[in-house]
Structure 1
Amino acid sequence: MFDVREDPEQKAKCDETMELLLAAGYFRVRIKGLSDFDKVVGGLAWSIQACNFAVDIDVLYQENAILGQKIALTERIVLVLSRMKCSHAIEPHQIQGGDFIHIFPVVQWLVKRVFERRAEIGDFNRAYALNQYDKQFGELIDETKLTSFKENVEDIRIRHRPKRRYRCLDSKKKRLNNIDERRKRIHSTLVEFGQMHQLLDTSAGNEKPQQEVDALIKNMVDEKSKIATQIVNSLVNQQQDTLRGIIEDFEEKEKARLEEALLSESGQQQLAIRTFKVQLNKQTERINTLQKNIEELQNKKEETKNSALEVKQQHEKLKEELEQIEIQTKSVDPEALKRVQRLVGDYEAAKKEENERRTTYKNEKNELDQEMTKLQARLQSSPDEGTPENEKMRQIEEQYQTVSDRLQTQRLVMAKKVREISALSRRIDDIPSSSELAQYRQAFFQLYNQSAVLYRQTKQNYTLYNTFTDMIDYMTKEITLIESINEGYPQAILSSSGKDHFLKQLESIVESVNQSRTKIERRQQEEKSKRDALNIQLAQLIDKARQYAKVLKDFQEAIRENEYLTSKSK
């Protein structure tokens, strides 16, 4: 890795940079005692100053500056270059390190800006010098130009000669005997020709010059207005026909011009704008109607959505009811369910038959009523009783009576059937289902377990009580026996007969204790035998319970298989 100053490419770029600064006019690069850093920094500062760029940063280069000042100067130079919108980026450490590969484009750009600035300043100085020379040392004017100047001056004088603006109302000529009248005449003449400023300038010593001028103007009349009114009156009085024709021609021309304007581009644009406005109004109306339709459709959509939600809720309710019915039907005995279904079918058929009979009977009744009305009308028209019509009427009444009796009997039969159906349904309801039986069984098991636990606890308490009672009895007997022995022993020792009697008593006591012991052992053996028998019975019952559970499980599986096969066969 070469050092930056020993790199041949860096050396070549350094030489090109120095030559470029020398060509731009920075001759300090020829000084051999200065380092490359001083030459580059000085050249950059000089170029920025030569460009005459308005900045608030001091980029003045000074010789024999310390390192901190040089670094600060490089930072300011980079900041100024960024504000000058230099097209090449550079950093302060690149200037300080002598990276001429990046310094050369910046110097080249600055030198170009220096030459452009010099050209602008040269053109400006040249134009300024020529202007100053023409002012001081212009060419002599010849006679032809002098005559043209005189003609122009005369033309200007004629064009700007005094014109009467006001005319004095007092047309009588007065003699000007004294100085005041002459002065007033001069003042009025100046006012008539619009030279009031001269009057005000000459009367600077007077206190009220403006008031005098106003007083003079009041005694005058405007010349232009007077002449204009006279001319207009004469034209109107003399040439009315010509004016009317001119006005008509002007109106026709204006109308033609308007038509041409309408046919021109602007007119076409106006017509297009009008058509666009009409179309826009139509589109806005259409949009409003569409918005109304959209709102109506949205309202309908919401209504249909609400109705759909209601239908969905009803469907869900019906579905839940069907599921509940299916659950209930599963728990019912299939034979009873078939019987109920058959009875319900009979009931529906009977009800349907009843409705049909009612309709037929109603129709027959209507027909009979019509016939009765006809017959009554005939009877009223023919009061004879032995006529065949009366006999026919009696037959009809008898037939009606038989039909009504038959209807009554059928109603009674139907009521009887309904009562039977209700009784059967109540009986079916009284029969518990398998789920109810399982619940009852579980409840009985729980009750049995609770009662068994309570019985066991009570029995244990009784047994414990009896045991403690027996222990107390035996302990009291033992205490009384020991006390009697303790009381009789001192007296029995006194004599030999007493000793014999005391020994006999002890032997009898030992014999009674042995007898009670044998009784207790016998009782214990009996209880053990009972316990063994109960254990054997418990084992047998447990075996039976296992067999029962197995059989019950097989039976339930058989029931499920039977239900599956029956449902599949249907």
Structure 2
Amino acid sequence: MDSLKEEAEKKANVDRLVLLLQTKKVLEKREAEDEFKYSQECARLELEVTELEEILESGDSVSQQRIDCSLANAVERLNLAKTELAAKLREITSLKRQRDAVPTQAELIQYERRFSELNAHIQGKLRQTRKYYATYNALLEIKELMLKETSLLNSMSSQFHDALNTPAGRATLTSSMEGISNSIQQKLQNVQLTLQAEQKACEALKKKHAAANLEKRRCYTLLKAFQDECTRHERLQNQSSKIPI
């Protein structure tokens, strides 16, 4: 299930990366168009200002007031164009920062590898910890059983010789031994029931593991098909961009 979750996250990262790459291409195209547009506008306005200045210096018969007014309008348009260009450049710079803040495909692959290594390390530690806990619980149960058996054997040893000396003592000892045997049989049955329950749980886990493996293979197949489709789509885009209009 962890592997399936990682594959799903990888697929989501690939989709996000494809979308970001498309956005990057659109932004770069807009940036080039805006820069070309405003550079042309600035060049035109500067040329107009230069022509007006030349007219002023040549002392043409055109009215001085008209020339001043045209020059003021040209300078105002030039300043307005420079202001708009600066705003556009700030917007483009902000978009570039946002684009640079997005991790690249190589960085995403590196992050995925690190997270996979960290997840594998955590899963290994978890399995090791569970194993230690299971071993501790089993040893603790064995210790309790051994203490009970030792106590029982000590009690039987201390009363054995006294019980054999009298018929009533022998009858009591026999009855006590039968009770102990029944108790042991009951414990054995409980252990067998616990073992059967654990075996059933193990079989259920094996079935779940087999189903998870089938789902994992299906996800690998879907991911491979998705990657092939992305590659084919990019190839078609590259071919269409090379076709002259």
Q: 1:458, 1:489 → 2: CA distance?
A: 46
Go from structure 1 to structure 2 and tell me whether the alpha carbon gap of 1:556 and 1:501 turns closer, same or farther (over 3 Å shift): same
Question: Partner of 2:134: helix, strand, or coil?
Answer: helix
How far apart are 1:445 and its partner, in Å?
Answer: 2.5
How far apart are 1:363 and its partner, in Å?
Answer: 2.0
2:42 aligned partner, one-letter code:
N
Correspondence for 1:440 among 111, 117, 139: 111
Alignment partner of 1:480 is 2:161: no
Alignment partner of 1:491 is 2:162: yes
Q: Could you say which residue in structure 2 is the equivalent of 1:525?
A: 196
Alignment partner of 1:568 is 2:239: yes
Q: Could you say which residue in structure 2 is the equivalent of 1:510?
A: 181
Q: Which has the higher contact order (CA 8 A, sep 6+)?
A: 2
Kept in 2, the 8 Å contact 1:332–1:434? The answer is no
Go from structure 1 to structure 2 and tell me whether the alpha carbon gap of 1:341 and 1:497 turns closer, same or farther (over 3 Å shift): same
Identical-pair percentage? 25
Question: Aligned runs of 1:216-365 on 2, under 5 Å?
Answer: 334-357=21-44, 359-360=46-47, 362-363=49-50
Q: Could you say which residue in structure 1 is the equivalent of 2:8?
A: none
Alignment partner of 1:420 is 2:91: yes
Q: 1:556, 1:531 → 2: CA distance?
A: 37
Question: Partner of 2:229: helix, strand, or coil?
Answer: helix
Question: Partner of 1:415: helix, strand, or coil?
Answer: helix
Q: 1:334, 1:476 → 2: CA distance?
A: 70
Gaps (5+ residues) in structure 2? 1-17
Q: 1:418, 1:519 → 2: CA distance?
A: 79
How far apart are 1:408 and its partner, in Å?
Answer: 4.5
- Structure 1 residue runs of 4 or more that deviate by more than 6 Å after TM superposition: none
Go from structure 1 to structure 2 and tell me whether the alpha carbon gap of 1:491 and 1:342 turns closer, same or farther (over 3 Å shift): same
2:201 aligned partner, one-letter code:
K
2:113 aligned partner, one-letter code:
Q
Q: 2:52, 2:153 → 1: CA distance?
A: 115
Q: 1:493, 1:426 → 2: CA distance?
A: 96
Go from structure 1 to structure 2 and tell me whether the alpha carbon gap of 1:461 and 1:487 turns closer, same or farther (over 3 Å shift): same
* TM-score when normalising by structure 2: 0.72
How far apart are 1:362 and its partner, in Å?
Answer: 4.3
Question: Partner of 1:541: helix, strand, or coil?
Answer: helix
Gaps (5+ residues) in structure 1? 1-330, 375-387
Q: Over aligned residue pairs, what C-alpha RMSD do you find?
A: 3.3
How far apart are 1:563 and its partner, in Å?
Answer: 1.9
CA offset digits 1:381-400 (Å, max 9, x no partner): xxxxxxx98xx48x946972
Alignment partner of 1:463 is 2:150: no
How far apart are 1:432 and its partner, in Å?
Answer: 3.5
Question: Partner of 2:188: helix, strand, or coil?
Answer: helix
CA offset digits 1:174-204 (Å, max 9, x no partner): xxxxxxxxxxxxxxxxxxxxxxxxxxxxxxx
Kept in 2, the 8 Å contact 1:493–1:499? The answer is yes
Kept in 1, the 8 Å contact 2:164–2:170? The answer is yes
How far apart are 1:338 and its partner, in Å?
Answer: 2.2
Q: 1:504, 1:549 → 2: CA distance?
A: 67
How far apart are 1:354 and its partner, in Å?
Answer: 5.0
Q: 1:440, 1:462 → 2: CA distance?
A: 33
1:451 aligned partner, one-letter code:
I
